[in-house]
Chains A and B, each alone.
Chain A
Amino acid sequence: MSGNPSRAPHDELAIDPEMVADMCRAFITSHVASTGAERVVLGLSGGIDSALVAYLTAAAIGPNRLVTVLMPTGSSSPSSKADAETIVSDLGCPSELISIEAPLAALLANLPQGESVSPVRRGNMAARLRMTTLYDRSALHRGVVIGTGNKSEILIGYSTIYGDAASAFNPIGDLYKTQVRELSRHVGVPAQIIAKAPSADLWPGQTDEGEGGFDYPTLDRVLYRIVDRRLPLEDVIAEGFDRDFVLRVSEMIRRSEFKRQMPPIAKVGGRSSGSDYLYPRRRPKLD
C-alpha cells in the first residue's frame, strides 16, 4: 500500500484544461506541418491515453487525417476493442483493425524449443510488433506516428523502449496521468474510458495499479515532488507519503533513465550526432 497524507490535498496538479488542450493542439498542428505528413497514425488501444491523443489530433488536423489502428492480440480484452470502436465512431476517423496475434505467435514459435517466455517479454514483443505495424502503416499513409505515453509512465519507465515509447512526437508526455484524466474529460473522451482502471492489457484482468502496486493520484503527487519540485526524498516522506513507496518510486525513476534518452554514440570523429552536431529535427533548405 502506498501512503497517503491524511489531510485533504491541495490540487497542485490541476490544470486549465482549455488552455492545455490549446497547447497540445498547437503542438500537433506544428509538428504535422513541419514533417510534411498528410496524416497522423495512432495506435488506439481503447485506453485513456491513446483516446485523449485521438481527440486532440482530430481537433487539431481534422478526423479525416487521423488514421487509428487497432492492434489486439488474442488475450486483449473485448471491452478494449469495443471502447476503441466507440472512439472511432464518435470521431468519424478512418480506422484499421490489424491483429498482431499471428506475428506474435510466430515470434513465440520461433524461440528455442522449450524456452518459456515471461509475461514481461511477451508484453514487450507485442509492444514492438505494434510499433512495427504503426511505422509500416505510416509509410503507406504518408503519415507520422504519434506518441501516447504520459508523464507518469515515462518517469517510472512503465513502457517498452522502441515499442509503445516510439513515436515521431508526443503531445501528452509532460502530463501526469491525473492531468490526462482531467484533459480527457474536457475534450470529450467517453466517460467509460476515463472511468476504467488503466491497463496495458497484456493479460486478462491486468491493471497498471494492480501490477505496479500504486494508485496514480498518489504516484503523481510523489513524482511531482521528486521531479518538478526537486525535493529531497526525506522531505517528501516528511509530508506523510509512505517511506517505502517514495523510495520505490525514486528507484523506478533511476532505473529507467536510459528509456528517456537517445542511445549514446561513441564519439570518435570531429563532429558527432548527439554531442556537437545539433540541429532541429526538421529544417528547411537554405539558399
Chain B
Amino acid sequence: MRRRVLALAQIAPSLGDLGRNFVLHEEKVQESRSAGADLVIFPELSLTGYQLQDLAPEVAMRRDDSRLQTLAKLTVGGPSAVVSFVESTDDHRLFAAAALLEGGEVRHLARKCYLPTYGLFDERRFLAPGDAIRATRASLGGPVVRGDIGIGIGVCEDFWHPTLPAILAQDGAELLINVAAGPARGASVDADQGLGSAASWGTLLRSTAVLTTSFVAFTNRVGVDESLIFWGGSRVIGPDGTVIAEAPLFEEALLLAEIDLDEVARARTALPLLRDERLELTRREFDRIIATRADLDEA
C-alpha cells in the first residue's frame, strides 16, 4: 500500500513580507510533521503574497535562493513540502512558481502556465507564463513499497485549462496538486456554499479528479490582499470524485487527509480513460486548428 498523509496548509500570507512568511512556513512544516504528514502543501505565492504588482521583482527569488534552501532542509526526514513564490531566472523573467521540496532540496519546479489577465486579475502584466507541463516522481516521505508517487503540480488558473491536468496525468501524475490564491466573488445563496467562486472550483476539481482518475489536492489561501478576500475551502478529492476532506471557508486551517495511492490503479482499471485517450488524434486536430487559425491550411 502506498498510503500518504497530506497536510493542506490553508494560510494567510502577508503581502510582500518574505521574512514573516518564511517563519509561517517553518511553523506549518513542523506542525505537519507533528501531525504525521508526509507532504504539506502551501497555496499559490505562499512565500510572497498575491497582489504584488510592482513588488514582484523585489520579492522574487531564484530557485537556489539560500532562504529556500534553508526551508528545504526542514524536509529531511519528512514531510516534503510544496511552496510557492515568484521565481526569477537568469534571463530576468519572473514566474509564479511552485516548488516541491524533498529530502532537503528543491526537487521539482512548476511554473504557472496560464496567467489570468481579465476581470480582477492582472497577472500577465507582471509575470511570464511557464512553457512546460511536467509530472515528476517523489517518495513523499512515506515507505516506498512499489515505487515512488507520480505528482503533477498546477498553479491556480492552470487547472481551468483542462489540457494541463490532462497532460500531467498522461505524463504519470497520480496525485494532482493545485496551489491557489482564489479570490472570493459572486456571493449568492444560489451558489453552492453561498459563493460563486467556491461553487465553480468545486465542480472543476471534482471533474478534474474523475476525468484524470487521479487524486486532487487543492490548497487555496485565506486572508486579504487589497480588495481581494481569499476564500480557502482547500480540499482533497479521490479519483472517483469523492471529497475526502475539506477545509472551512475564510479560516486558516491545516487540513489532514490520508490517501492510498494504490486506489489510482484500481480506479484506472475500472475506468480506463487515460488508457483510452487518443493523443495522436488530439494532436492532429490541434495541429489542424492551429494551422487554420494561422491561415496556413491548404484550401
Contact = CB atoms under 8 A, between A and B. Distances in A.
Given A278-B54, A280-B16, A26 B223 contact: yes
B229 interface: yes
Interface string A249-287: 000000000000000000000000000011111111011
A225 to B, nearest CB: 14
Main secondary structure of the interface of A (DSSP, over half): loop
Nearest to B52: A280
B250 A26 contact: yes
Interface stretch (B85-93, B185-193, B207-215): B185-193
B224 A286 contact: no
B20 interface: yes
B15 A22 contact: no
B16 A286 contact: yes
Interface in A41-93: none
Interface residues of A, number: 25
Contacts of B225: 280
A147 to B, nearest CB: 12
A41 to B, nearest CB: 20
Nearest to A171: B229
A107 interface: no
A283 B189 contact: no
A280 B223 CA distance: 15
Given A12-B190, A16-B187, A22-B249, A279 B19 contact: no
Contacts of B15: 34, 280, 282-283
B259 interface: no
Given A12-B190, A14-B189, A283-B55, A19 B16 contact: no
A35 interface: no
Interface string B182-203: 0010011110011100000000
A31 interface: yes
A15 B187 contact: yes
Interface in A10-30: 11-16, 19-20, 22-23, 26-27, 30
B186 to A, nearest CB: 9
A279 B55 contact: yes
B257 interface: no
A15 B194 contact: yes
Contacts of A23: 184, 187, 229, 250
A14 to B, nearest CB: 4
Interface in B34-67: 51-55, 58-59
Interface string A164-176: 0000000000000
A22 B194 CA distance: 12
A16 B189 contact: yes
Nearest to A13: B188
Nearest to B194: A16
Contacts of A278: 53-54
Contacts of B222: 26
A169 to B, nearest CB: 9
Nearest to B251: A22
Contacts of B14: 284
A264 B214 CA distance: 50
Interface in B214-265: 222-226, 229, 249-250
A27 B16 contact: no
B17 interface: yes
A154 to B, nearest CB: 13
A22 B19 contact: no
Interface of B: 12, 14-20, 51-55, 58-59, 184, 187-190, 193-195, 222-226, 229, 249-250
30 contacts: A11-B189, A12-B190, A14-B188, A14-B189, A14-B190, A16-B195, A19-B187, A19-B193, A19-B195, A19-B249, A19-B250, A20-B187, A22-B249, A26-B222, A26-B229, A26-B250, A27-B224, A27-B229, A30-B223, A30-B224, A277-B54, A280-B15, A280-B16, A280-B55, A280-B225, A282-B15, A283-B15, A283-B16, A284-B14, A284-B17
